[in-house]
Amino acid sequence: MDLELTEAQREARDVARRFAREKLDRVGIEVDRTHQFPRAAIEELGKLGMLGIFIPQEYGGSGLDNVAYALVIEELSVECASTGVIVSAHSSLGSWPILGAGSEAQRLRYLPKMASGEWLGCFALTEPQAGSDAAGQKTRAVRDGDFYVVNGTKNFITNGPEAAICILFANTAPDQGHHGISAFIVETSSPGFNVVRTEDKMGIHAAHSAQLSFSDLRVPAENLLGSEGEGFKIAMKTLDGGRIGIAAQAVGIARAALEASLKYAHERKTFGNPLASYQAIQWKLADMAVEVDAARLLTLQAASLKDRGEPCTKQSAMAKLFAAETAMKAATEAVQIHGGYGYTKQFKVERFFRDAKITEIYEGTSEIQRLVISGHVLRNR
């Protein structure tokens, strides 16, 4: 891996950093309180080309790569982890399956509007009884002439209420296990596509996680992604990329926790001296700094493999696992360094603590990442 960023990658990172510092700082604080979707910020990000970073220019995207994408998600997440995951779910989970598995007609119809942000995307895999066990899909799609008729329920779908496009997984042949799962591109304005409720969550308040239900939803047969039965593989390949996005989000949260802790350690005095003068605090800061850098390197390694078209399943699981646990540890230490104030809403670190937790859960829990990694290392021993 070349550790030197290209000019285009640096520029994308710097544009995202400037935008995050100037526009997202207040948004991050406000939307945590109001739970409102940051629509104006998302529209601006669309204009900056940040909603189609790795989409080729021929489909209206910025034509950059996954390394640039990871750098951008980190920068956004430093100031607002909700915005980070809204962009990540839209890009990795909503747009990528169309780029990676779609026909030319599907790419031309959907990607330009997704790259501009006119249409947001979501990814509907998880079901009430099928979370970690993603193959246990109960949602059913039955062929009826030129349509599939879909019935079922999906849970915890990021961008569910706002998305115009949903990558939907459903069983077309229930007797064939995961080989019976198919993927569809669904326009959410179609009759029978229902947003049942938005969850009231611990953190990432502005990134809405919805329960969706489908009642006799008619999906044109031409909106099948790939072939019937390919859905599970499309989901797994999509998650290989999605986990890079979540790893980058976690790096952003961990970095925010470190930066807030450094500032506070210089400002706050105890026993007549700044916190930064005490070894107990210095060691915490040192560990946080090491882990943030290590998490970023793992994330960029996975992104770089994906950009070269090489398998990245193990590395994206490693990046997501390590970055998520780093975010949780860094946020916990940041609250500890801030003492009683860290437990109040006067400082941002209590939000980082709540936002960090989800990175250990969504797009595959830490336990699932360990399962994926151990599968690879045991096979290749």
> What is the smallest separation between the CB atom of 110 and ligand CAA, expressed in angstroms?
18
Range 177-206, binding ligand CAA (CB under 6 A): 178
Q: Is residue 237 a contact point for ligand CAA (CB under 6 A)?
A: yes
Q: Is residue 87 a contact point for ligand CAA (CB under 6 A)?
A: no
Q: Is residue 211 a contact point for ligand CAA (CB under 6 A)?
A: no
Q: Which of 4, 259, 363, 367 is catalytic?
A: 363
Which of residues 117, 229, 241, 364 is near ligand CAA by CB under 6 A? 364
Six-digit token string for 213: 């239900």
CA distance linking residue 172 with residue 153, whole number of Å: 15
CA distance linking residue 352 with residue 80, whole number of Å: 9
Range 21-80, binding ligand CAA (CB under 6 A): none
* From 60-68, 150-158, 247-255, 259-267, span contacting ligand CAA (CB under 6 A): 150-158
Which of residues 153, 313, 315, 326 is near ligand CAA by CB under 6 A? 313
Q: Which is nearer to ligand CAA, 63 or 177 (CB)?
A: 177
Question: Is residue 363 flagged as an active site residue?
Answer: yes
Q: Is residue 302 a contact point for ligand CAA (CB under 6 A)?
A: no
Which of residues 81, 125, 219, 288 is near ligand CAA by CB under 6 A? 125
* From 13-21, 219-227, 237-245, 347-355, span contacting ligand CAA (CB under 6 A): 237-245
Q: Is residue 92 a contact point for ligand CAA (CB under 6 A)?
A: no
Q: Is residue 102 a contact point for ligand CAA (CB under 6 A)?
A: no
Q: Is residue 121 a contact point for ligand CAA (CB under 6 A)?
A: no
Three-state SS annotation for the chain: CCCCCCHHHHHHHHHHHHHHHHHHHHHHHHHHHHCCCCHHHHHHHHHCCCCCCCCCHHHCCCCCCHHHHHHHHHHHHHHCHHHHHHHHHHHHHHHHHHHHHCCHHHHHHHHHHHHHCCCCEEEECCECCECCCCCCCCCEEEEECCEEEEEEEEEEEECCCCCCEEEEEEECCHHHHHHHEEEEEEECCCCCEEEEEECCCCCCCCCCEEEEEEEEEEEEHHHEECCCCCHHHHHHHHHHHHHHHHHHHHHHHHHHHHHHHHHHHHHCEECCEEHHHCHHHHHHHHHHHHHHHHHHHHHHHHHHHHHCCCCCHHHHHHHHHHHHHHHHHHHHHHHHHHHHHHCCCCCCHHHHHHHHHHHCCCCCCHHHHHHHHHHHHHHCC
* From 143-151, 165-173, 298-306, 366-374, span contacting ligand CAA (CB under 6 A): 366-374
Q: Is residue 240 a contact point for ligand CAA (CB under 6 A)?
A: yes
Cβ atoms 42, 86 nearer than 8 A: yes
Q: Is residue 373 a contact point for ligand CAA (CB under 6 A)?
A: no
Q: Which is nearer to ligand CAA, 62 or 209 (CB)?
A: 209
Q: Is residue 156 a contact point for ligand CAA (CB under 6 A)?
A: yes
Q: Which is nearer to ligand CAA, 243 or 351 (CB)?
A: 243
Q: Is residue 169 a contact point for ligand CAA (CB under 6 A)?
A: no
List interacting residues with ligand CAA (CB under 6 A).
Answer: 89, 123, 125-126, 132, 134-135, 156-158, 178, 232-233, 236-237, 239-240, 313, 362-364, 368, 371-372
Active site residues: 363
